[in-house]
Amino acid sequence: MRIVLGSCLDGGAWPGPLRLPRHDGTVRAAVLDEVWVGVESFVDLLAVRTGCARLDPPGAGERAADLARRLCADAAAPGAPDAPWAASLAADPLATARALLRTKDALRAAGVDDDTPAERLPPRLAAVHAATRGALPGLLERVRDVERALRDGWRARVDVVEVVDEPALLPVPVQRLLAALVDDGARVTPFVPRGIDSLEDVPDNDAARVRRLLAGVYAPGDAMLRGDGSLVLLRHDSVDETAACVAAFLAETDSAVVVAPDGDGGLVLDEALARHHVPPLGVRGDTGSDALLALLPLVVAVGDEPVDPARLFELCALPLSPVPRPVGARIAGALLRSPAVHSPAMRRAVDEGLAALHTRVVADAGEDVARARVQALRARVLALVPALARTPSATSTSTTPTTMAPGATATASLRERLLLLLSFLQGRKRREFDPLDDKTPYRAALRQVTTALRLLDLLDAPSLSPPQLLRLLHAATDGVRPPSPHAAGAGLVVVDDPGAVLGPAATVVWWGFSQASGQLRPPRALSRAEQQALRAAGFTPPSPDDVARHHARAQRRPFDAAVERLVLCCSRRGASGAEHHPHP
């Protein structure tokens, strides 16, 4: 088996195994036992082959919630010493746990193991290392498990691993895994991309001049671009105008490589491609494009005092809501007339809506069924929005237990509302689709709710402060997006990262060529002094300068790959109206 490994390849790669020409220049008709993958997919592949794959590895939110619970329990223990992060932990446990896990992952990437003595680490890092020992495993812990499986005699049956990145910039556990693969019989070599110089009849156009300028081998006159159309920067006023222009251009192009960073207005481009009858890219939908993904934040928002009338109106006005339509329509109408959640008009709206439902169900199923169904729906509505069951006088007195901080949310009440929402979504799914069908419109919303419930269980706290609740919502909704409204078609190749363009292409379209797309992510977890201390102790954290240089080289790859035309797309304003600037 041949594996091409690169940190930029988890979101697709060009040219990939099928389009990579043979040594004689001919095109492959089929490929067997060859993959181009990023680090995460590489670990997943080897984990399956070595018998240490995890069915459902914990996500970043679950790791943070579990660690936050452990840190709070340790801090509350009698005689527990004050940790350096004690004040932050009291204010926002989830954010503190996330920061500690980032530091732990940075230590793991530098070669710090669980059994590393604390004396070899600076004081803050030693405290983080001790506090995070036993945390739920992340990606680098899975790398360690695969390496141990190979050392214990498992066979990966990999022939060649070609590494795109510089070996010194790979995390130390990945370097150890590659060494274990060498001991297993694999050959690990640097990946040598096929350059444009290997092609015949390469045009001397503006794209070639910029390529020579970036490489530092330009000739006199290269600094003057001729405007031959091979290098285009699109700066329309809006994303929609830019997408329409790109779609019209791609409609006249046989094939192209599209660099479309995830979440950078790619859905707008996909819609424009569909309108121009161009094979879509298959970009996932935006969170705001699916009303089902608004249910979890809205149900959480309307559960506690004070209730924002606008959020209650949004919940009732959704096309699919746990608040029945007759009730929701009357609540929305009452809010338009008077935005007072505790008014008698609001309670009348609930009663009138349930009465209308009762009349409808009586005609279809009889009085007994109607009475039971209306009682269940009333209980659900009042549990989802407890403010509808309270009078203004009852609201004026605090209903929050004295042990809870002001503004905190009771975990038991939140769990009850989430279980009601989960039951509602599962019931709608069973009613509309085959119970065994996992690819339904409800899949993303169900994943959000189940993740939120798992996080509540891991936190195991009686109440959540407003920052904790926001962190929990972010962890439950982050990365959950609806499926693509347009299935990917043949003809266009899409990659998420510009560093994944590893070979010549006639046309390259860089969608989202903005300043934000060139930023390094995530932020550094170790200070420069801590990195120097780790190097003095024998560890190998990557140098920030080397990381920045590697990132800059990866960002140049679309310029190095475009043969005939390079189209750079940066609208003046994004989909949200924010001002955009071209890539630096």
Q: Domain ranges for the chain, please list them.
A: 2-56+140-190, 60-136, 196-285+486-569, 291-395+406-477
Lowest model confidence (mean pLDDT) among 163-172, 316-325, 477-486: 477-486
**Which has more pLDDT, 553 or 267?**
553
The model's confidence at residue 438, banded by pLDDT at 50, 70 and 90, is: low
- Is residue 257 within a helix (H) or strand (E), and if so which, with residue range? strand 256-259
User: What distance in Å separates the CA atoms of residue 273 and residue 268, rounded to the nearest whole number?
Assistant: 9
| Least confident window among 273-287, 306-320, 480-494 | 480-494
Tell me the percentage of the chain whose pLDDT exceeds 70. Answer: 91
Whose tokens are 């222009």? That residue is 245
Section 255-281 average pLDDT = 80
Q: How far is Cα 225 from Cα 223, in angstroms, rounded to an integer?
A: 6
pLDDT of 258 above 90: no
* Per-residue confidence (pLDDT) for residue 396, from 0 to 100: 46
Paired with 188 in beta bridges are 161
Comparing 60-69, 111-120, 387-396, the range with the smallest average pLDDT is 387-396
DSSP 119: G
Per-residue b or e along 516-531, where b marks 16 or more CB atoms closer than 10 Å to that residue's CB: ebeeeeeeebbeeebb
- Rounded CA separation 399/299 (Å): 19
Rounded CA separation 279/266 (Å): 14
At residue 106 the predicted structure's pLDDT band, cuts being 50, 70 and 90, is: very high
| Residue 342 Cα distances to 304, 312, 316, 398, 463, angstroms | 13, 12, 16, 15, 24
Q: What pLDDT was estimated at residue 522?
A: 59
The first and second tokens of residue 497, run together, are 């990262």
**pLDDT-based confidence at 307, cuts 50/70/90?**
confident
**Mean pLDDT throughout 28-55?**
86
Per the CB < 8 A criterion, the answer to whether 21 and 503 are in contact is: no
Is pLDDT at 392 greater than 60 in this prediction? no
pLDDT at residue 289 tops 70: no
Q: In whole angstroms, what is the distance from residue 153 CA to residue 180 CA?
A: 10
Same fold, 2-56+140-190 and 196-285+486-569: yes
Can you tell me the distance from the alpha carbon of 346 to that of 330, in angstroms, rounded to the nearest whole number?
A: 8
Cα(534)–Cα(501) distance, integer angstroms: 34
What pLDDT shows up at residue 397?
Answer: 46
Mean pLDDT to the nearest integer, 119-137: 91
Asked whether residue 473 carries a pLDDT value surpassing 70, the answer given is yes
The pLDDT-based confidence of 29 (bands split at 50, 70, 90) is low
Contact (CB, 8 A) for 336 and 419 = no
pLDDT at 398: 44
What letter does residue 137 receive in the DSSP assignment? P
The yes-or-no verdict on residue 401 having pLDDT over 70 is no
Indicate left, alpha or beta for 182 from its phi (over 0: left) and psi (-120 to 50: alpha). alpha
Mean pLDDT, range 280-288, rounded to an integer: 70
Closest CA to 260 of 493, 9, 6: 493
pLDDT at 63 over 80: yes
pLDDT at residue number 421? 92
Residue 513's pLDDT is: 86
Q: How many helices (H) and strands (E) does the chain have?
A: 23, 11
pLDDT of residue 263: 59
DSSP percent split of the chain into helix, strand, coil, nearest 5: 50, 10, 40
Overall average pLDDT of the 263-277 stretch: 80
Q: Is CATH 3.40.50.300 the right assignment for the domain spanning 196-285+486-569?
A: yes
| Cα gap 204→209, rounded to integer Å | 7
* Inter-residue contact 38 to 131 (CB < 8 Å): no
Look at residue 432 and tell me whether its pLDDT is greater than 90.
no
What's the pLDDT score for residue 182?
92
2-56+140-190, which class in CATH? alpha beta
pLDDT band at 391 (very low <50, low <70, confident <90, very high): low
- State the residue for tokens 């120097």: 532
**Cβ proximity of 532 and 197 under 8 Å:** no
Q: Name the nearest CA neighbour of 416 among 377, 460, 386, 461.
A: 386
Pair of tokens at residue 472: 């929990």
pLDDT in the model for residue 399:
47
d(CA 562, CA 508) in angstroms, rounded, equals 6
Contacts 24+ apart (CB under 8 A), 335-344: 335/309, 339/309, 339/310, 340/309, 341/307, 341/309, 341/312, 341/385, 341/387, 341/388, 342/387, 342/390, 342/391, 342/392, 342/395, 343/392
What pLDDT does residue 444 have? 84
- Residue-wise pLDDT for 538-577, tens only, equals 999 888 888 888 888 888 899 888 888 999 988 888 777 7
Q: Mean of the pLDDT values across residues 31-54?
A: 88
The b-or-e profile of 331-359 (16+ CB within 10 A means b, else e) is bbebbeeeeebbbeebbebbeebbebbbe
Does pTM top 0.85 for this prediction? no
pLDDT higher at 535 or 263: 535
Token pair 């509808």 is found at 388
The average pLDDT across 245-264 equals: 81
b/e for 447-478, b at 16 or more Cβ within 10 A?
ebbebbbbbbebbebebbbeebbbbbbebbbe
Using CA of residue 202, residue 208, residue 213, residue 218, what is the dihedral sign?
positive
pLDDT at res. 179:
94
What is the distance between the alpha carbons of residues 298 and 295, in angstroms, rounded to a whole number?
5
User: How far apart (Å, rounded) are the C-alpha atoms in residues 140 and 112?
Assistant: 11
pLDDT the model gives residue 3: 92
Are the beta carbons of 408 and 465 closer than 8 angstroms? yes
Cα–Cα distance for residue pair 83/254, rounded to 1 Å: 61
Averaged pLDDT score across all residues of the chain: 84
Confidence of residue 416 (pLDDT cuts 50, 70, 90): very high
- Expressed in angstroms, the distance from the first to the final Cα of the chain is 39
